[in-house]
Structure 1
Amino acid sequence: MTSLSPAAAFDAPFDGDLRDDLQLALQLADAADAVAMPRFDSPDLDVQAKPDASFVTDADIATEKAIREILASERPDDSVLGEEFGSTGESSRQWIIDPIDGTHNYLRGIPMWSTLIALAIDGVPRVGVVSQPAISRRWWGATGLGAWTITPSGEERRISVSDVDDVAKASVSFQSIEQWRDAGELDALTRLTDAVWRDRGYGDAWPYMLLAEGRLELVAEFGVKEYDIAALAPIVIEAGGSFTAYSGAHSLTERSSLATNGRLHDTFLDLLHTS
């Protein structure tokens, strides 16, 4: 498996054309939607518990298989990392897939789940697609190509983060109290929520997209894997935001994330890491 190095900044320039890769990622999202949506809220959905006590459904398996089949045909030399089937290949170009991010929502019939598709090159996430078909939404971005969304009405538009530059006016998503408690960061969460205008735990990929659209100023969480966040970083960054691990490092492997509108990134880091 290609190392996802913290050495290169996620917003570093890229000397290459990612348009074909982005179009392929969007094609993969179409295929994923076609598999996942018919099984959503299905009474005969097969649900199994994993060794880590999380769940996997037949839709997770089928969706990742559909994505991998297309990649095997269209990008046979690229490596792939997926939640359900692990890592294959050794290429410096690595597709990172979460077939259904928010499986707990999916199996309970809650529409806040997504398929996440990313392409990392030399360890840096460069292409990202977030498809949320149960609410007819999709977002995408690639280095140098901007961040975009398509609305339920079919309008395609470029998106950008907010220009809020005062923590006291910021709206944030902290995901869940349990995450912060388990990470030993409850005091930091209290400082954060005391300092901002509004705080909520929206959960999973959606708040990152709200951030990229300028509706939130911070999203942070713990316990995340590469496939949970790789697709989110290019969209947030191309929308003008900043994306790091909670420590501030440019890494997908620290099992944490901190995304902001950019203007407040250093301020939030100082606030969270000041005891």
Structure 2
Amino acid sequence: MRKTAFTFALLSATTLMSITALTALAPRSAHAATMPMSENAVPSGVLSLSAQASNEVAQDVVDITLFYEQEASDAGSLTDALNKRTAAALAQAKGVAGVSARTGTFSISPSTDRNGHISAWRGRTEVVLESRDFAAASKLAGQLNTTMQVGNVAFSLSPEAQRATADKLTGDAIASFRKAAESATRAFGYGGYTIREVNIGSEMPSPRPMFAMRAMAAPEAAPLPIEAGKARVTVNVSGSVQMSR
């Protein structure tokens, strides 16, 4: 559902609006008329306002993190075992169309006994799957879950979907900004306005984790159940206009 909203600021004793930057609606005295305006003074009849448009969009990218942990008596053999597990997962992922795979975190750390001596080494390796094909990613994750464990699933909005949504919302936010300016201009008895300055910005959603878990590897290659949610994209338009009689 798309939503638009606007706010504006002006000084008025008969409305609930609050003013920003309106300085000289009252007639000037003869003495004030002869005083030169400071370079930093704000002209009279300036209205500051802002508008917003937002919409919820279905997330179209999934990232699935799988991990494998192991202990060994020496760091060398542990590193070799972790590398082999990672290489096997990456090779299997390469055969699946529409799914990309990359290495994630790789770490090895020592375990010490009560005397402070190294008694073992513990390591962890990760493989991250990324795809817009949820079914293909789910199936592959289920297959890899027989040798690795699912650690995290996160959904996000692709850059292309973000740009397309923001482009459409920008027009809505600008239209709301102009409508607010026209309404306020008439309400304060002015005949028109010109735009002094305007700023356009967007708020993009961050990836949303679905869950994080440390489960035992599944005995069967069942697809991983995943379902994306929606992300809200917002465009803000703010600035000021010069009202004229």
The TM-score, its normalising length taken from structure 1, stands at 0.15
Quick check: which one's helix share is greater?
1
Quick check: which one's strand share is greater?
2
Which one has a bigger Cα radius of gyration? 2
Q: Which has the higher contact order (CA 8 A, sep 6+)?
A: 2
